[in-house]
Structure 1
C-alpha cells in the first residue's frame, strides 16, 4: 500500500479501471471518494463470491436428484462431493496470489466467467447412464468456485483501512457463505415444483453471466497491490499459521463439510426423500453464514481466543448430542443438534479469522516494533498467512465427507464419523487453551528486549 501524496483528494485512475493512487488510511482520502469506491468493489465482490460458493456446493444438491436409476450408492455420493471440496481447497492458494498478478477486478471477471465451465458440464451430463468417472470430473470442476473466496478476501483486504477491515472482511465472507444455503433453497423450490437438475443449472447460468458483466463494469484494480513471496515464505515458517490452520479446519472446514453432507445424511441415515431433505438442508448453512459476523464482533469485545475456546467446547457438546440422536435414531433431536452445530461453526469462523491479525500484531510488539512499523509488519504477515489458513481450513470439508463415506460404507450410519469429529473438536479446544490462553510460568518469561521474538504476550486478547 502506498501513498502518492500527503492528502490525496480522491482515487486517481488510468485506463482499464486501474487505480494508481490509493491510501485508505488517510481519512481525508477515504471521505473524499475512497469509501465510495471501496464499498462499490465490496458489493460486487460479494456478488461474485456468493455465486462461486453456490457453484462450489452445487453437488451437495445435485446428489439429491440422483435416485436409484443413477446406480450410485451413498458412499459414492459422499466421494463425489469430497472431490469438489478437495479442488476448492487447493484452488485457494493460486487464487490468493492471482489478484496481485492480474488485478482484483480483472481476476474477479475471469474467475466468475470460469464458473460457466462446471455449470455447463453438469447441465450436459446430469442424466442416468452417465459414467461415475464423468460425474466425478464434473464435481471436481465445481471446486474452482471455492477459490473465489481467497481472491475475493485478498482483493477486499486491500481496499479498506485497518480500522474497517474486520467489518468489510466479515461482510465479504458472510455474503459469500450465504451462497451455500441459497443454492439449496433454489434446489428445494425446483424439487418442490417437480423440476429436474437441469432446471436448477439453467437458473444459475444467467446469474453467472450477470456477475461477469457487473464485475467488469463496476469494479477496479489497485496497482499498489503486489505479491510478497517473502511474506508467504515467512508466514509458512511461522508455527501460528499452522496452529490457526488446524483451528480453521475445525470451524470453516466443519461448515463447508457439513454443508455438502447434511442432505445426504438425512437421505441415507433417516430415509428422507429429496424434497424432505432439501427442505431442511439449507437452514444450517443459512444460520451459520448469517452469524459469522457475530463471531467477529464477540471476538472484538472479549478476544478471539476466548470466544474460539468457548465455541469449540459448545461444538463438542452439540456433536455429543448428534451422536446420541444418531444412536437413538431420533430425527428431531438429530436435526436440531446438527443445526445448532452449524450455528457454532459460523461463530467459530468469525472468531478464528479475527485472531489472525491480532496474533501477528502481538508478534510485532514482541519484536520491539511500534506504531505504523508494527502495523505494517503485522498486515504483511497476516495477509500472507490468511491465504494458507483458508486453503488448509477448507480441506477440513474433504476430511468430513471422507469420514462420512467410510462410516456409511462400514457401518451404515454416520455415528462413527461424528465420534471422530467430537475427538477432533476436543483437540482444537485443548490447543486453543494451551497456546493462546494458558498463562506461562513467570520463570518462562525472558527479560524484555527489542527484537526478542520469544517474549511471552497476552494472546487472550487477539
Structure 2
C-alpha cells in the first residue's frame, strides 16, 4: 500500500475523529461487562440476570444504530456524532448519582446503547472521504475504535476497587467523553461527497435486497461475537475459573486486544486477497476455536483459544466492512446502521445464550457448541452466495469492485 497515496486520498483529521469517537464510545458501551462481577455484590444476580445486564447495552445499541444511521444521511455524520456524544452523558450521570436498584440499572444499561450506536455515524464519517480501493483500510482504522473495550476491561474494576464503589466509574467516564466531544467538534469534517438525503421509502428498498440481509447475518456473527464475548468474558473467567474481578477483567483484556487490533488488518487483507476468501477462512477458524473452548480446558489453554478466536472475529469485522461500502455506496449511512444493528443483536444474544444455558445445564459447553455451529453456517452461506456476487459486483478473485458501467440497482 502507498501510504502517501492513502493519506492524500482522504481527510486524516476526520478519520482520526471517527476513530476517537468510536473508541471512547465503545469504552462507555462496554462498562458493565467487567463491572458486573462487582455490581453483583450490591444486587444478587443469577447467571441469566448477569448475562441480561451485559446484554442490554448491546440491545440498546442495535436499536439506536438504525436511528443514527438515518440521521447520518439526513444531517451528516459530524452532527450525528456530536448528538451521540452529548446523549451518551445521560446514562453516565444516572449511573454515577442516581441508581439504587437492579431495575434502574437495567434502564441505564439499555441507555448505554447510545454509545454503541456511534458505529452508524463514525464509519460513514471516515468512509465517505476515501475511494473504493482504500475502503477496507479506512473502515478498518475507524472501526478499530472497538479497542475502547480494552479501557473498560483494564481500568473499570481497578477504579471501582480503589474507590470502593462502582458508581464512580460512571462519573469518571464523563471526562473522556467531554474531551472527545471538543476534539470531534474541532477536527471532524463531513465529506463534500455526501449523498442526498433519502426518503424512508428509499431505505425500505434497501431492506428488500438480499445482500442487505446477508451482510446482516455475517456481521451478526463477527461483530456480535466480538462485542458479546468482550462483555461476557469477565463473568466467564470469574464464574468458570474463580478469578477475582480485577484478575478476570485482565484476562478478558488480553482477549479483547486481539479482536481490536486485528480489525484493520482484516480490512487491509480483504483489500489484498478479497473479502470472500478472508471471511470463509475466518469463520472456519472461529468455528474451530469455539468447539475447542466448549471442552473448557485449563486456563492457559483457553486464553490462547479465546485470543485466536477474538482475533478472527476482529479481522472478520474489517472484512465485512470492506465489502459493505462497495455494494452500497450511496446508502452507506443507513446500511451501516442496519448491518450494525444486526451485529448488535448478535452481541445481545451471545451472553444470553451462554448465561441461560449455564443456568439450565450447569456448564458453558452447550453454549460454545452452538456458537461454533453458527460460525459454520456462515461458511456455508458465503460458499453458496459467492457465485452470484462474483457475477455482479465482485471480481473473480473475490475482491470487491465498483464499475461505472454497472446498473444502479447493483452499484448503489
TM-score by length of 2: 0.88
| Equivalent position to 2:358, from 408, 419, 433 | 408
1:247 Cα offset (Å): 1.1
Alignment CA distance shift 1:402-1:301 (3 Å) = same
Inter-CA distance 206–194: structure 2 relative to 1 (3 Å threshold):
closer
Q: Distance in 2 between matches of 1:164 and 1:439?
A: 20
Q: 1:460 to 1:167 in 2, by over 3 A?
A: closer
Distance 1:398 1:52, change over 3 A: same
Note the alpha carbon deviations across 1:143-180, whole angstroms, 9 max, x for none: 11111111111222223333433322211111x20111
Distance 2:347 2:302 in 1: 20
Equivalences for 1:29-178 in 2 at 5 Å? Answer: 35=10, 38-125=11-98, 130-174=100-144, 176-178=145-147
Using the alignment, how far apart are the partners of 1:261 and 1:317 within structure 2? 20
Could you tell me how far 1:140 is from its partner in structure 2?
Answer: 0.6
How far apart are the structure 2 equivalents of 1:116 and 1:438?
45
Counterpart of 1:460 in 2: which secondary structure?
A: coil
Tell me by how many angstroms 1:195 deviates: 4.5
Matched, 1:314 2:285: yes
Which one of the candidate residues 313, 317, 322 is aligned to 1:349? Answer: 317
CA distance in 2, matches of 1:47, 1:82: 24
How far does residue 101 in structure 1 lie from its aligned partner after superposition?
A: 2.5
Deviation at 1:283, TM superposition (A): 1.3
Aligned twin of 1:390: 340
1:218-297 equivalent positions in 2, closer than 5 A: 218-221=187-190, 225=194, 226-229=196-199, 231-297=202-268
The alignment of Structure 1 onto Structure 2 pairs a total of residues equal to 394
CA RMSD of aligned residues (A): 2.7
Q: Cα distance 1:242–1:73, how it changes in 2: closer, same or farther (>3 A)?
A: same
Task: Choose the corresponding residue for 1:187, options 151, 156, 162.
Answer: 156
What is the SS of the residue equivalent to 2:117? helix
Distance in 2 of aligned mates of 1:221 and 1:435 = 35
- The structure with the largest alpha-carbon Rg is 1
Contact 2:223 / 2:343 at 8 angstroms: preserved in 1?
Answer: yes
* Offset, 1:193: 4.1
Contact 1:309–1:429 (Cα < 8 Å) also in 2: yes
d(CA) in 1 for partners of 2:188, 2:379: 40
The runs of 4+ residues in structure 1 deviating greater than 6 Å are: none
Structure 1: give runs of 5+ residues left out of the alignment. 1-26, 361-377, 446-452
On the 8 A contact 2:96/2:167 being kept in 1, the answer is yes
Secondary structure of 1:109's aligned partner: helix
**Is contact 2:119–2:337 with CA below 8 Å preserved after alignment?**
no
Higher relative contact order (Cα pairs below 8 Å, separated by 6+ residues)? 2
The 2-side partners of 1:355 and 1:45 are apart by 19
What is the CA–CA distance in structure 2 between the aligned matches of 1:352 and 1:222, rounded to whole Å? 23
Q: Secondary structure at the residue paired with 2:329?
A: helix
Q: Give distance in 2, aligned partners of 1:166 and 1:348.
A: 11
* Pairwise CA distance, 1:282: 1.1
Residues 312 and 162 (structure 1 numbering): CA distance in 2 closer, same or farther, change over 3 Å?
A: closer
Which residue in 2 is equivalent to 1:420?
370
Q: 1:171 to 1:438 in 2, by over 3 A?
A: same
Give the drift of 1:271: 1.7
TM-score (norm 1): 0.79
